[in-house]
Structure 1
Amino acid sequence: MVARVDSTLAVVTVTYSPGEHLENFLTSLSGATERPTRVIMADNGSTDGTPEAAAVAHPNVELLRTGGNIGYGGAVNRAVAEIDSSVEFVVVANPDVRWEPGSLDALIEAAGRWPRAGSLGPLIHEPDGSIYPSARTVPTLVSGAGHALLGTVWPANPWTQRYRQENEEISERPVGWLSGSCLLLRRSAFDAVGGFDSRYFMYMEDVDLGDRLGRSGWLNVFVPSAHVTHAKGHAAGRHPELMLPAHHESAYRFQADRHPHRWQAPLRWALRGGLFVRSKLAVAAAVRERSKTSAEPGAAPGNDTKQGKR
């Protein structure tokens, strides 16, 4: 028996000077579902004026100022708190997502097929049409370390392959976690696990949410019949000295939370030390690359369209 699916739909997007991407997001959203939508922009301190303009141009769009840059998960939680608890589904998506026609309806239909799905995610395309590996396994200490150390220099290593699931058949199925760049969340599941962990300022908050949903008996379901395109922001490339340490700090928090015992303290110390060294090396390499790129003719800065996403 297929579970009843409510037609009410709320959409949350976190804005941080999203530029032209935001209008593409809102325009394409109108074709993604036949259901009326309420869109809440949780703004973390935009300075480009686009969220204000969107709130004026679109009657179903609301601007919610978070009061500062409180991070991705914290901003989502703040916006969800504004939505009546009777609303069955909440969509969380980055403002640089472009929706394919019918994509949201496909996710909601899948929710009816999977009544224990706490989150559902679409097939995500890169701007060049390639598929982004958005449905992954939850990283263990071993697989996470293998991917972190070897993912860049040896992409085909077994830990990265297992983590990213790129060789898996593209099919509708439960997975460990789904990219937070575009999620359909069952409100009852989201509330049951306390929403996003706001301690993650950026990065890994979607991994943490998917893992906590799974540990609580909910499913994270990959729905490849729904398609979106993710333009991706460039904050990490423009500010590696801020973004990369935040990424490594989130990676440490994720594993430290899952290895909390006193006898595991040496493991946590080793993990923190290793990630600190890796972060310093990654920042130095990124700064060199940024300097080289900015020196090239025609180089131009991008928009910080999203926070907390890879």
Structure 2
Amino acid sequence: MATYRQVLLCSNLPIIQGTDGEQVRTQPHQEILKNFDIIIVNYKSNEYLAKCVRSLALGLGPGMEARLFVQDNESDGTLIIDDASFNEVTVTRNEKNIGFDAAVNQGIRASRSPYVILLNPDSRISGTFFEPVLQFMEDNSKVGILGPRILEPDGRIQGSARAFPNMLTGLFGRTSLLTKLFPNNPITRKNIVSIESDGISPLEVDWVSGACMVVRRKAIEEVGLLDERFFMYWEDADWCRRMWERGWKVVYFPGVHVIHDTGKSSAQRPLRSALEFHKSSYLLFAKYAKGPVRLLLPCVFSGLALRIVFVVCVYMFRRSIEKIRNADNERMEKGV
């Protein structure tokens, strides 16, 4: 895999390009340990990425130091990060889409701060973020992963803190039909823990969304990097489970929040995204299925295969309806 990197120590300095693995600097500088290393994996979401970086710059208060790592997976056009609030920005461009997990791991290997923030490019931090997060992590040394409250652009709470998936998750998950029809049913409320949050108090949970999570480097060193068998989706649940297995806590921290325009990167290739979602669902189940439960693997595989066929059919039907409507609108505009 061929990549090259761009490193900016200041926003007005020229960019030096290098080959894969080469250390590239615009000028010598003194190593300063930052509070946070922020890793953003970008896939054809440059417009949203610019808003994301702007929100980070606004959120950095006095005395807060952060380094920004953008892992660019085969995006179109020229990616420009030009914000003087970050005195070091590293952009790693991959010639192909290597997946979310592999790209995050690239950033983690290159970073060195005590806390790593994973943030989707279609997310924006809002209000005071860094100071409360840093204070909480410093005061609670056994917390390996922290997840903030995540909101839709219209202010609705996303189900970003959840119980580990089980056989009913597919029926009562965050975006399932039954959850949409009966949002207050007890199974959904047990699965989506953020529903039960008071919006203030930190809460220990099974797992939090990778759309935004703060991870302690010591925990990463002990537990390991993201499992790159997950191309995208469910890697956050897997990482959190591994954290719990090694004695690290996962906490939902609703005192700070992030606004998430869900699915802007995955919308670029919806069918590929749907396929990867179902592949990762099976991988997660198979990874932790023990004893007699493994006998269910063929059933789970068949169920997920049928589900992806249904999803593809629905997608194709909607595309056909959309094309018909667009053609009708064009004829009306032409007066035909």
Normalization by structure 2: what TM-score? Answer: 0.78
Deviates more, 1:150-159 or 1:197-206: 150-159
Alignment partner of 2:214 out of 170, 184, 198: 184
Query: Residues 168, 83 of structure 1: CA spacing in aligned structure 2 closer, same or farther, 3 A cutoff?
Result: same
Structure 2 CA distance, aligned partners of 1:77 and 1:121? 19
Aligned position for 1:144? 169
Q: 299, 310, 313: which is aligned to 1:281?
A: 310
Cα distance in 2 for partners of 1:235, 1:287 equals: 20
SS at match of 1:222: strand
Q: Which residue of 2 aligns with 1:301?
A: none
Distance 2:269 2:75 in 1: 16
Superposition deviation, residue 158 in structure 1:
3.5
C-alpha distance 149-22 of structure 1, shift in aligned 2 (>3 A): closer
2:52 alignment partner, one of 25, 37, 46: 25
Determine helix, strand or coil for the equivalent of 1:81. Answer: helix
Aligned partner of 2:128 in structure 1 is 102
Instruction: Tell whether 2:218 aligns with 1:193.
Output: no
- CA deviation after TM superposition for structure 1 residue 31, in Å: 2.4
Q: Higher mean Cα deviation, 190-199 or 160-169?
A: 160-169
1:95-114 Cα offsets, whole Å, 9 max, x none, are 11111132122211221232
Structure 1 unmatched ranges of 5 or more: 1-5, 298-310
- Which one of the candidate residues 94, 100, 111 is aligned to 1:66? 94
What is the CA distance between 1:148 and its match in structure 2? 5.7
Question: Following superposition of structure 1 onto structure 2, how do residues 17-166 of structure 1 map, counting pairs within 5 Å?
Answer: 17-34=44-61, 35-49=64-78, 51=79, 53-54=80-81, 59-84=87-112, 87-140=113-166, 142-147=167-172, 151-155=176-180, 156=182, 157-166=185-194
Amino acid aligned to 1:101: G
Q: Which residue of 2 aligns with 1:308?
A: none
Classify 1:290/1:177 alpha carbon distance in 2 versus 1 (closer, same or farther; 3 Å). farther
Equivalent of residue 273 in structure 2, options 240, 243, 248: 243
SS of structure 1 residue aligned to 2:240: helix
Contact in 1 for aligned 2:67/2:87 (Cα 8 Å): no
Deviations 1:87-138 (A, max 9, x none): 2101110111111132122211221232111111111111111111111111
Q: Deviations over 1:249-299 (max 9, x none)?
A: 1111001011155x54431111101110111111211232244346556xx
2:243 to 177, 188, 213: 213
Q: CA deviation at 1:169?
A: 2.6
State the SS of the aligned residue for 1:132.
coil
Instruction: List gaps (5 residues or longer) in structure 2.
Output: 1-32, 327-336
* Segment drifting more, 74-83 vs 28-37: 28-37
| RMSD over equivalenced CA pairs, Å | 2.5
Larger radius of gyration: 2
Q: For residue 295 of structure 2, what is the aligned residue in structure 1? A: 266
CA contact 1:138–1:177 (8 Å) conserved in 2? yes
Q: SS at the partner of 2:46?
A: coil
Q: Is the 8 A contact 1:240 1:283 kept in 2?
A: no
The one-letter amino acid paired with 1:130 is R
Question: How far apart are 1:139 and its partner, in Å?
Answer: 1.1
